[in-house]
């Protein structure tokens, strides 16, 4: 169900892209702006018409801003169910207004406590109270309210508004709610960890799912799995294989996907489908992923699924031939038509998506007799549970590589900061890079992957491969590396290819050399502080 966006409440700590986003809301879609103290000042100074939140609540900010949004008048506008006449009548009775969009990122607690000289008082003052409450309220009522918690979401939101005549679809609002609850969870976890570290003789919680010290893990492990399918063979025809699934599994994933068409899945198909689907679900907007030999060779996000597919395929059409395709939206007629384009002569092993338009499904079934079509249902959340890997005589177990990234904490280490467009491209490339075999290098132009270097023993070789894959498309691209640069030769090679910005974890003894090389070439570089090896 579409919901019009008529009134937005803005209260942000990170004001990146705020003015541009708010201006587009008002000029293109006629949205009324309401904001809190510092946010209101920035918008008003930019010449935008904006109301103070006190005009909604009838109560001023007090206690040095500690109390400004915690008021029934505001939360009634957030939590009122639009499908309940009695809720709307209550709003009218008390002269309260509905709020359709909340834009709120939280006080920079993680960045504050990461400083070596931070005091307890500084840490405490950077614990946001009203922000998480507001975020949770908006996310709870996603049926009527949209919640944005990061500047990286602004462009997608504007695209959705443009594509739906100033309205936002329910599926998109639900995705935003998931991201909001995930952000609040990460925020509260960081606060809890800070306090835990301040306590004398504190013990870590006993929860193997959270990762941590070895003594948190069970002495014995016996993970139960049910036989789902006997496969024709394993990685190679001389190997026998079967597919097992967790018992009572009901979340959307490859193990629960329904095969709608095509020949029997193979061992390698299932591995590639899992990789492709887990990458596709990283993105809030329409996205397409092409995987070959368990590495993404084409990835793109766009305003429509058909456009995302075209950009993903053309990122590396040579490698895409015979690949696995994953979508994070139901396949519509336009996307199916693009996939089946007779001029392209595409060969595809499998397609996995949340669903298929009936006409699209019918056409795809007629297109190729053997192409495997899988339906997962709506993609909610990401991979869950522990990650298992068998070795001879043992079992490696780890928590999944999720929830570690916080773009608000990324640090610009070069003289030049990335532009807003570069930052969005870097964020996109970083999400892709964590799904590429190490050593991993990803080149992206906007929200399109144009070159991938994967699985090399030397990182500089991965850079070289990615640049050669991209060709002329490397000019003006950005680069993501899953781990630090051991030497500045990686930067020199990237600069020669035309890369303008780089994102990497940092942490090398030669970081200063890489930073200096970036400054020499005018390249902006971000350190994430997080590594994403995928062996």
Indicate the SS3 state at residue 404.
coil
Question: What tokens appear for 270 in the block?
Answer: 């299932």
CB atoms within 10 A of CB 16: 17
- Give yes or no for a cis peptide into 84 (omega within 30° of 0): no
- The upper half-sphere exposure of residue 79, i.e. CA atoms within 13 Å in the direction of its Cβ, equals 12
Cβ atoms of 260 and 356 closer than 8 Å: yes
Whole-number Å distance between alpha carbons of 12 and 22: 12
- Is 94 one of the annotated active-site residues of the chain? no
Question: Residues with Cβ < 8 Å from 358, sequence gap 6 or more?
Answer: none
Q: Of residues 15, 51, 71, 140, which has the active-site annotation?
A: 140
Whole-number Å distance between alpha carbons of 112 and 124: 10
Indicate the SS3 state at residue 177.
helix
Q: Of residues 293, 314, 510, 521, which has the active-site annotation?
A: 293
Exposed / middle / buried, residue 439 (Cβ in 10 Å: 0-12, 13-18, 19+): buried
Question: What tokens appear for 444 in the block?
Answer: 């992206």
- Is 140 one of the annotated active-site residues of the chain? yes
Exposed / middle / buried, residue 15 (Cβ in 10 Å: 0-12, 13-18, 19+): middle
Indicate the SS3 state at residue 524.
strand
Whole-number Å distance between alpha carbons of 214 and 159: 46
Question: What tokens appear for 156 in the block?
Answer: 């997608």
Exposed / middle / buried, residue 516 (Cβ in 10 Å: 0-12, 13-18, 19+): middle
Catalytic residues: 140, 293
């Amino acid at each position: 169900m579409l919901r019009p966006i008529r009134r937005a409440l803005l209260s942000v700590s990170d004001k990146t892209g705020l003015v541009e986003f708010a201006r587009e809301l008002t000029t293109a879609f006629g949205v009324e702006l309401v904001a809190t103290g510092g946010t209101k000042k920035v918008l008003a100074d930019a010449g935008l018409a904006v109301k103070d939140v006190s005009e909604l609540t009838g109560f001023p900010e007090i206690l040095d801003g500690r109390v400004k949004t915690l008021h029934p008048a505001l939360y009634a506008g957030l939590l009122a169910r639009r499908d309940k006449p009695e809720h709307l009548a209550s709003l009218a009775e008390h002269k309260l207004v509905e709020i359709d969009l909340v834009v709120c990122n939280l006080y920079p607690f993680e960045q504050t406590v990461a400083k070596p000289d931070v005091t307890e008082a500084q840490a405490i003052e950077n614990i946001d109270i009203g922000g998480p409450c507001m975020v949770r309220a908006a996310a709870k009522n996603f049926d009527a309210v949209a919640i944005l918690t990061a500047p990286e979401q602004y462009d997608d939101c504007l695209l959705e508004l443009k594509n739906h005549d100033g309205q936002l679809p329910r599926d998109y609002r639900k995705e935003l709610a998931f991201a909001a609850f995930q952000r609040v969870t990460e925020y509260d976890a960081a606060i809890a960890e800070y306090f835990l570290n301040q306590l004398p003789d504190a013990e870590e919680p006993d929860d193997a799912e959270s990762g941590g010290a070895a003594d948190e893990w069970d002495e014995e492990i016996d993970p139960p799995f049910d036989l789902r399918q006997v496969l024709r063979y394993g990685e190679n025809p001389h190997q026998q294989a079967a597919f097992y699934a967790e018992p009572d599994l009901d979340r959307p994933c490859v193990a629960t996907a329904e095969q709608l068409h095509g020949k029997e899945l193979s061992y390698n198909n299932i591995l590639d489908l899992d990789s492709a689907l887990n990458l596709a679900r990283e993105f809030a907007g329409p996205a397409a992923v092409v995987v070959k030999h368990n590495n993404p060779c084409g990835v793109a996000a766009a305003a429509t699924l058909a456009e995302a597919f075209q950009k993903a395929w053309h990122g590396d059409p040579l490698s895409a031939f015979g690949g696995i395709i994953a979508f994070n939206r139901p396949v519509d007629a336009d996307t199916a038509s693009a996939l089946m384009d007779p001029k392209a002569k595409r060969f595809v092993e499998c397609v996995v998506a949340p669903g298929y338009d009936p006409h699209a499904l019918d056409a795809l079934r007629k297109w190729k007799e053997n192409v495997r079509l899988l339906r997962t249902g709506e993609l909610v959340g990401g991979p869950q549970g522990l990650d298992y890997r068998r070795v001879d005589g043992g079992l490696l177990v780890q928590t999944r590589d999720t929830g570690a990234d916080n773009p608000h904490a990324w640090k610009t280490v070069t003289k030049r900061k990335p532009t807003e467009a570069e930052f969005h491209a870097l964020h996109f490339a970083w999400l892709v890079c964590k799904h590429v075999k190490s050593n991993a290098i990803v080149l992206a132009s906007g929200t399109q992957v144009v070159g991938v270097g994967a699985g090399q023993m030397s990182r500089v070789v991965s850079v070289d491969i990615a640049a050669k894959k991209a060709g002329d498309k490397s000019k003006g691209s950005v680069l993501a590396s899953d781990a630090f640069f051991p030497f500045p030769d990686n930067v020199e090679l990237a600069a020669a290819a035309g890369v303008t910005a780089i994102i990497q974890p940092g942490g090398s003894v030669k970081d200063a050399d890489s930073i200096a090389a970036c400054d020499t070439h005018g390249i902006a570089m971000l350190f994430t502080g997080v590594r994403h090896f995928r062996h």
